[in-house]
Structure 1
Amino acid sequence: MPVVVYSVLRVVLFAAATGLLWWAGMRSWLAPLLAAFLAWGLSYVLLGRQRDRAALWLAERAEQRRARGGRTAREAADADAEDAEAEGSSGAVREWPEGRRPAGT
């Protein structure tokens, strides 16, 4: 979630810089371009704490993914469920409801 907060704050800086340039009379395509550079510089100076939090959050997620062998949490849960089901039904004969028996059995 810190990545979203950091991104939203950067978009707000860009919008504010564009609005300020537009208000100051720069009404050409250069206003958003200049605003992008201004917002980049301001975000570097003003949003250091949020940037560090976002980077830490991303690093923790990458470490968790490495610990799971590159799988997402859902993939890991699915694999664990499949393993548990395979261990629980090894050697047991499955009873099919009447009329629901698969073809060929």
Structure 2
Amino acid sequence: MRPVLVYTASRIGLFLVTLGVLWIIWPINLFVLILASFLVSGIASYILLSKQRDAVSARISNKIDQPKPQD
């Protein structure tokens, strides 16, 4: 469960940092600012969080591939 929490916390943190930086640089309508933050943080997370994303993928794949206990 740890890789999932680390990845999720990293994504949220990256979004908040992006929102704060964009607010300082470009103080406009809040809705537009949130949309821009989603876009920028999504692109940044694709590049910056690849190791965490791979860890989450491996964790989910291992969980799916485990044999289920028989009744």
TM-score w.r.t. the length of structure 1 is: 0.61
The residue that corresponds to 1:84 in the other structure is: none
The residue that corresponds to 1:96 in the other structure is: none
Structure 1, residues 18-42: CA drift from partner, whole Å, max 9, x if none?
A: 0111111323111111000101000
**Long gaps (5+) in structure 1:** 70-75, 80-105
1:16 aligns with 2:33: no
1:35 aligns with 2:37: yes
User: Considering only aligned residues, what root-mean-square deviation do their CA atoms show, in Å?
Assistant: 1.5
Structure 1, residues 69-88: CA drift from partner, whole Å, max 9, x if none?
A: 6xxxxxx7xx5xxxxxxxxx
Higher helix share: 2
Task: Extract structure 1 runs of 4+ deviating beyond 2 A.
Answer: none
1:53 aligns with 2:55: yes
2: distance between equivalents of 1:41 and 1:20?
Answer: 15
Highest Rg: 1 or 2? 1
1: distance between equivalents of 2:50 and 2:26?
Answer: 31
- Count of matched residue positions in the alignment of Structure 1 and Structure 2: 69
**1:47 counterpart letter in structure 2:** L
2: distance between equivalents of 1:12 and 1:27?
Answer: 21
**Percent pairwise identity:** 28
Higher relative contact order structure (alpha carbons within 8 Å, sequence separation ≥ 6):
2
The residue that corresponds to 1:4 in the other structure is: 5
